[in-house]
Amino acid sequence: MTRRDFILIAATPAIRSSAPARLPVPVHRILDARAQPRAEQIHHFWWSIWPEAFRDFSRGGIDLQTSDGPGEVRHSPGDRPIFIGLRRGVINLVLTDHLPVYWDNGRALAGVTTLYEGYHVCMVALRYAHGNQIAYLSVNTCVHELLHALLQDIFISRTKWYQFGGREFRADCYATGLWLFHDGAAIRKSGQIYLKRLRGG
C-alpha cells in the first residue's frame, strides 16, 4: 500500500462525515379526476416542470419521495374545495386545471399551499404552472409551492398583504438558490422541523 492510498483511506470517513445529511420529503401526487387540462399541459408538467423540480431539490440535498394515487376535487356551492384521496403524514400535491375561486379570488394563480382539515396540500393549476423562467421572480411552480411547506409558511393562517408578499419573495429567493446555486442548507434545516410537525399532526 502506498502512502497516497493510505491517506485516501484515512480521509474517507472525514469526507463522508462532512457531507450534509439529505432530507427525505414524502410527496403524494394526485391528478384531479374532475379536471380537464389539455394534453399538452399534462405532458409539459410530467416531462418538464416536475423533473426540473425534482432535480433542483435533489441538488440541494432534498429527496422528494413520491407516491401516486387517485383523487378529485369537488366543489361546494360556495366553491369551497372538497378533496378526495388526500393522505396524512405527507405533502399532498394536487394537480388540477385551475384553482378554486375560494382560494384564487380571480387572480389566475399557478398554485397555493395550505393546511386543509389537517391535511398538508400543495395545489397546482396546470393551466398556469411553469418551470424556471426568471431568477427571483418567476421560478418553478412546484418548487415554489413545496417551499411554502418546507419553510413552514403553511402553518401561518392569516397574513397581512405585506407579509404575504414577503413570504412569496422569500420562497422565490430560496427556489433561485436551489436552481442556480444548488444551495439547500437553510431549506433542509427548516424542513427537518417541518417534517416533525407533519408526522406529528
- The DSSP code for 119 is E
Is the pLDDT at 79 greater than 80? The verdict is no
- The DSSP code for 154 is G
What tens digit of pLDDT does each residue of 105-142 get? 667 789 999 999 999 999 999 999 999 999 999 999 99
Q: Is residue 104 a part of any domain in this protein? A: yes
Picking from 54, 60, 48, the residue whose alpha carbon sits closest to that of residue 29 is 54
Q: Is residue 16 a part of any domain in this protein? A: no
Is the pLDDT at 16 greater than 50? The verdict is no
CATH number at residue 105: 3.40.390
Between 160 and 90, the higher pLDDT residue: 90
Q: Is residue 9 a part of any domain in this protein? A: no
4 pLDDT band, cuts 50/70/90, is very low
13 pLDDT band, cuts 50/70/90, is very low
Is the pLDDT at 2 greater than 60? The verdict is no
Question: CA geometry: angle at 151 spanning 119 and 67, to 5°?
Answer: 45
Q: Is residue 8 a part of any domain in this protein? A: no
- CA-CA-CA-CA torsion for 78, 104, 140, 48, nearest 10 degrees? 50
Distance CA 142, CA 124 (A): 7
What is the count of structural domains for the chain? Answer: 1
Q: Is residue 83 a part of any domain in this protein? A: yes
Average pLDDT, the chain: 88
Distance CA 164, CA 159 (A): 6
Is the pLDDT at 154 greater than 60? The verdict is yes
pLDDT at residue number 153? 95
Is the pLDDT at 11 greater than 60? The verdict is no
Q: Is residue 112 a part of any domain in this protein? A: yes
- What are the φ and ψ backbone dihedral angles of 84, each rounded to 5 degrees? -120, 130
Is the pLDDT at 8 greater than 50? The verdict is no
Which helix (DSSP H) or strand (DSSP E) does residue 200 occupy?
helix 185-200
- The DSSP code for 134 is B
Q: Is residue 41 a part of any domain in this protein? A: yes
32 pLDDT band, cuts 50/70/90, is very high
Residue 123 structural domain: 21-200
> How large a percentage of the chain has pLDDT more than 90?
74
Buried-state track 40-54, b at ≥16 Cβ within 10 A, e below 16: ebeebbeeebbebbb
pLDDT at residue number 75? 84
Q: Is residue 33 a part of any domain in this protein? A: yes
pLDDT at residue number 15? 41
Report CA-CA distances (Å) from 110 to 4, 71, 95, 162: 54, 20, 10, 20
pLDDT at residue number 110? 94
